[in-house]
Amino acid sequence: MSKCKTVTLRLRKVKNGTQYSLCLDYYPGYRDNITMKVITREALGIYIFAKPANQQERDFNARMMKKAEILRNRRYESIFNENNGFFDKAKMKGDFLAYFKGVADRKNITWQHVYKHFERFVNGKCTFE
């Protein structure tokens, strides 16, 4: 993620009109290092009620909005760290095996065999730490 300046939490109306979908807008966007596509929007998969009918629905909306705001802050912090050369601790907790599998799939058969042996060696769990 580079050159992105703002991350905004937005509400988008779902087709049936009874709910809103929460998404993040990136301005001016960032280029995904794997697919090389410019990403300007990310759906969070969180839905809230458009017109809450009772207290439970209002409480649900408030909890989901707090969680969405936490996700927005994490994305912004990650972008800020990358743009300014700071160390990002969240990336260190990522799955190294998933990363290595992606690299091995783009390489030849030898890399895929190395991946299988390494996966067995670490019992299927390995982070970047």
Give me the residues paired with residue 41 across strands.
25
What's the confidence (pLDDT) of residue 10?
Answer: 92
Q: Please enumerate, as own/partner, the contacts of 5-10 that have beta carbons within 8 Å and a separation of 24 or more.
A: 6/76, 7/72, 7/75, 7/76, 7/79, 8/72, 9/68, 9/69, 9/72
Task: Please write the tens of the pLDDT for every residue from 89-111.
Answer: 666 667 788 888 888 888 888 88
- The sign of the dihedral angle between the CA atoms of 5, 42, 65, 74 is negative
How far is Cα 28 from Cα 5, in angstroms, rounded to an integer?
Answer: 7
pLDDT in tens, 17-63: 889 999 998 887 777 767 778 888 889 999 999 999 999 999 999 99
Tens-digit pLDDT profile for residues 60-91: 999 999 999 999 998 888 877 777 766 666 66
Per-residue model confidence (pLDDT) at position 1: 43
Whole-angstrom distance, CA of residue 75 vs CA of residue 71? 6
Q: pTM for the whole thing?
A: 0.64
Task: Name the DSSP class of 122.
Answer: T
Domains of the chain by residue range = 6-90, 93-121
